[in-house]
Amino acid sequence: MQAFWQENWGKIVNYLPTLGVALVVLVGGHFLIKLINRLVGKALRKTRMDASIHRFILVALRIALRVLLFIVVLDILKIPTGPFITALGAAGLAVSLAVKDNISALAGGVIILFSKPFAAGDYIEVEDEAGGVVDYIDLLYTRLHTYDNKIIQIPNNTMSNARITNFSAMEKRRLDITFSIGYGEDFRRAEALILDVVRGHKKVLPDPAPVVRLNEHGPSALGIITRVWVKTEDYWDVRFDLLEGVKDAFDAAHMEIPFNQLDVHIRKEEKEILPETDIEK
């Protein structure tokens, strides 16, 4: 051991300045990366890009800068970077084969962020199954929360290939409700009652004009379709209000709201009475 120190002590002393420079570059680079990310984040917030794209860009930038810093430190330490870059490429290929689904999700995330089929805060439905409000779009997953406060995470490759319905993209939506009345009722009177309720609601938009028309001859009822336009954020409030208001109006007008019923007929079976026979002769 003593021979080792005697032989290499001079080299170690000569190497200390290089090691010190590498350490300074490493620490300084760490803070520089944080500063660059902060400045880029501030610049991105001034643009019209979606907040989810900001998050994606900042994460990708941070990873790229850290890899670059690591290569610079290796170069300062006079450690050959060629084999490292080659090994990094080979490792990248091996990892890409092992995590091809994640890479597909990453590509899906890029497609979503730049095609913008939805944004954070939108209520979406994926393939008529999962639905919720978008919290954020991450590198690999899109996170939603439902109205009953459940978290849903969907891989971005699934999101980019799925049929997505965005309920928040437009400023206004059409609300359709069908009200049923009995065949014995005056449907024109029912239409007038519904229209009064609709016109009395402050959140129903006047343009396009509401439509209230007889729409269906059902098995046991007439269906009157009601179509009104509302602001997207008012959709559910208006729906609940109209259902309650029309029920109150029908009750006040003594208008029958039919319901499915089943008539059961009970048939008595008559037993056949055989005549008595004299078995004793």
Q: What's the CATH code of the domain at 123?
A: 2.30.30.60
Whether residue 162 sits in one domain with residue 177:
no
Residue range(s) defining the domain that contains residue 124: 117-166
pLDDT of res. 192:
95
**What is the chain's mean pLDDT, rounded?**
81
Same domain assignment for residues 76 and 18: yes
Residues 161, 188 within the same domain: no
Least confident of 72-86, 129-143, 160-174, 266-280: 266-280
Whole-prediction pTM: 0.59
Residue 273 has pLDDT above 60, yes or no: no
Percent of the chain whose pLDDT exceeds 90? 31
Neighbours of 157 (CB within 10 A): 21
Is residue 280 situated within a structural domain? no
Is 260 within a domain? no
Residues 30 and 61 in one domain: yes
- Answer whether residue 271 is part of any domain: no
3-state SS class at 17: helix
| % the chain with pLDDT above 70 | 75
Residue 261 within a domain = no
16 and 86 fall within a common domain: yes
The arithmetic mean of pLDDT across residues 170-188, rounded, is 93
Do strands 172-181 and 164-166 pair parallel, antiparallel, or not at all (unpaired)? Answer: unpaired
| Statement to judge: residues 15 and 72 lie in one domain | yes
Find out whether the peptide bond into 208 is cis, omega within 30 degrees of 0: yes
CATH number of the domain encompassing residue 94: 1.10.287
Give residue-wise pLDDT tens across range 183-233.
989 999 999 999 999 999 999 999 999 999 999 998 889 999 999 999 999
Residue 262 within a domain: no
Total count of domains within the chain: 3
Residue 204 domain-assigned (yes or no): yes
Task: Identify whether residues 150 and 198 lie together within a single domain.
Answer: no
Q: Which runs of E-coded beta strand occur in the chain?
A: 123-126, 130-137, 141-145, 151-155, 164-166, 172-181, 204-205, 211-217, 222-231
In a domain, 193, yes or no: yes
List, in order, residues 6 or more apart from 121 with CB less than 8 Å away. 133, 134, 168
- pLDDT value of position 281: 46
Say which range, 41-45, 89-93, 142-146, 253-257, has the weakest mean pLDDT: 89-93
CB atoms within 10 A of CB 226: 21
Out of 66, 98, 130, pick the residue that ends a domain.
98
Q: What is the mean pLDDT of residues 136-157?
A: 86
Q: What is the pLDDT of residues 69-81, one digit of tens each?
A: 888 888 887 777 6
Do 162 and 176 belong to one domain?
no
Under the phi-then-psi rule, with left for phi > 0, alpha for psi from -120 to 50, and beta for the rest, what region is 73? alpha
Q: 194 lies in a domain? A: yes
One domain for residues 94 and 23: yes
User: What CATH number does the domain containing 242 carry?
Assistant: 3.30.70.100
N-to-C CA span, the chain: 135
